[in-house]
Amino acid sequence: MGRIVIALGGNALQENPKDTSAEAQLKTCRNTAKFIVDIVESGNEIIIAHGNGPQVGQIVSTYEAAAQQDKSIPIMPFPECGAMSQGYIGYHLQQAIRDELRVRNIKKEVATIITQVKVSQDDPGFLNPSKPVGSFFSKEEAEMLEKEKNYVMKNDANRGFRRVVPSPMPLEVAEEKVIKTLVEAGHIVITVGGGGIPVIEEHNILKGVPAVIDKDFASEKIAEILEADMLLILTAVDKVAINYGKEDEKWLDEMTVSQGEEYIKQGHFAPGSMLPKIKAALAFVKSKDSRVAIISSLNKAKAALDGNEGTRII
């Protein structure tokens, strides 16, 4: 039993990637809630983080499509789109978890915090925008957006041009005190959704910036801030593998920090997929001797906590 930050992957929010409707997401969240409440019922204190890639992309694309049809409609700034996705996903998760808690007669409350995460304006990520967001455009439309909106547009696998934004590292969580207060009072908090809304602080004033913070790095940051005992990263696979997809593929039950660092050097983990999860897990375990990270799938989460599934990083 302990304090656990749970980082939910996309499959915990959208079971079928082709069905991005609100109804489908809420249905998936209700299923996800059963696995989450299993962990609560075992006596653990949990904090939930989650991704938002498809959802924020859908929001951005909707505004872009509307603006193309009617030039008087302004395109919504990217930080605001991130905030919308936090509220939309948080609403579904907190309702689903709250209802599952009531079914099991567990007296806990659930709250979503629209979370701002401070980043440095000198972060090297700002020099190389790499995260694609929103709609596909023709080369001519992309050139116009670069000129009129100062966007950075890149060809996305020859499918068209998309806007790309930076991916800076998280430094601080602006709502840290509020989150701590709720957690200490025994409530379940949903926070740093989509990695949090990236903000830069200037003269004690926060300003949102068009960027994407990796949700695994933000989950690791909030886990350190809240003095969590464990970081539980839930994804689409049951365990971490080296030589993934090859004849000598090997699934790992346990991995030390030094082994993980060596596997990274050897190029075993794909950027934008397993690599940030491994890096976040290693950073959390290195932050304090007693801390543990686990990478596993949603439906094996409880078994992973019991030591019977997942990859444990020590």
CATH number at residue 102: 3.40.1160.10
Domain assignment of residue 27, yes or no:
yes
| Per-residue pLDDT, 227 | 97
Domain count of the fold of the chain = 2
pLDDT above 90: residue 158: no
Whether 272 is a known active-site residue: answer no
Catalytic residue among 44, 51, 193, 215: 215
Least confident among 139-143, 185-189, 295-299: 139-143
| Per-residue pLDDT, 37 | 97
Task: Check whether residue 199 and residue 153 sit in a common domain.
Answer: no
Domain assignment of residue 106, yes or no:
yes
The mean of the pLDDT values for the chain is 94
| Per-residue pLDDT, 134 | 78
Domain that holds residue 138: 130-165
Is 21 exposed, middle or buried, given 0-12, 13-18 or 19+ CB atoms closer than 10 A? exposed
Least confident among 127-131, 156-160, 249-253: 156-160
pLDDT band at 168, cuts 50/70/90?
A: very high
Catalytic residue among 10, 90, 260, 310: 10
Task: Check whether residue 145 and residue 60 sit in a common domain.
Answer: no
Nearest C-alpha neighbor of 38 from the set 254, 230, 296, 298:
298
Domain assignment of residue 125, yes or no:
no
Q: How far is the CA of 248 from the CAs of 23, 236, 310, in angstroms?
A: 41, 21, 19
Task: Check whether residue 160 and residue 172 sit in a common domain.
Answer: no
pLDDT above 80: residue 166: yes
Catalytic residue among 51, 53, 57, 131: 131
Residue pair 250/268 in contact by the 8 Å Cβ criterion: no
Over pLDDT 70: what percentage of the chain?
100
Task: Check whether residue 97 and residue 140 sit in a common domain.
Answer: no
Task: Check whether residue 88 and residue 182 sit in a common domain.
Answer: yes
pTM of the entire predicted model: 0.93
In this structure, the dihedral spanned by the alpha carbons of residues 293, 312, 41 and 238, taken in order and rounded to 10 degrees, is 110
Domain assignment of residue 31, yes or no:
yes
Whether 154 is a known active-site residue: answer no
SS3 content of the chain, % helix, strand, coil (to 5): 45, 25, 35
Catalytic residue among 9, 11, 193, 194: 11
Region 191-218 average pLDDT = 96
Domain assignment of residue 241, yes or no:
yes
Between CA 204 and CA 144 the distance in angstroms is 35
| Per-residue pLDDT, 256 | 96
pLDDT tens readout for residues 35-93: 999 999 999 999 999 999 889 989 998 998 898 899 899 889 999 999 999 999 999 99
| Per-residue pLDDT, 18 | 83
Task: Check whether residue 57 and residue 104 sit in a common domain.
Answer: yes
Catalytic residue among 118, 239, 277, 300: 277
Task: Check whether residue 161 and residue 173 sit in a common domain.
Answer: no
Whether 277 is a known active-site residue: answer yes
Whether 10 is a known active-site residue: answer yes
pLDDT above 80: residue 148: yes
pLDDT above 80: residue 1: no
Task: Check whether residue 263 and residue 135 sit in a common domain.
Answer: no
